[in-house]
């Protein structure tokens, strides 16, 4: 799903509004060549971070934010996961 975050009500008839409950979020910022850096971060989250900590995922949307500009070699992105302690 592609969308945008807002605290306002949806005023667009052609967009579906998905309400997300309040959660604790693990946020993974990254910067580098796009899309490789973002893909590497996703892989490290699942292969290194999640197995090694006392947190587990909460059923909620996973959020990925990318700040595009005209250069693809140093792009800023964030990956957000809702988590709770085991």
Q: What is the pLDDT of residues 9-45, one digit of tens each?
A: 888 888 888 888 899 999 999 999 999 999 999 999 9
Domain boundaries, the chain: 25-81
Provide the percentage of residues in the chain whose pLDDT is more than 70. 99
Beta bridge partner(s), residue 30:
77
Residue 48's pLDDT band (boundaries 50, 70, 90)?
Answer: very high
pLDDT mean across residues, the chain: 90
Tokens of 6: 């807002």
Q: What predicted TM-score, i.e. pTM, was given to this entire model?
A: 0.81
3-state secondary structure of 25: strand
Rounded to whole angstroms, what are the CA distances from 49 to 54, 55, 74?
Answer: 10, 9, 23
pLDDT at 31: 95
């Amino acid at each position: 799903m592609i969308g945008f975050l807002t605290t306002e009500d949806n005023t667009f008839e052609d967009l579906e509004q998905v309400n997300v409950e309040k959660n604790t979020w693990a946020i993974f910022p990254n910067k580098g060549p796009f899309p490789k850096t973002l893909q590497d971060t996703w892989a490290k989250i699942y292969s290194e971070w999640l197995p090694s900590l006392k947190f587990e995922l909460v059923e909620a949307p996973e959020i990925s934010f990318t700040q595009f500009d005209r250069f693809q070699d140093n792009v800023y992105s964030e990956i957000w996961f809702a988590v709770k302690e085991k």
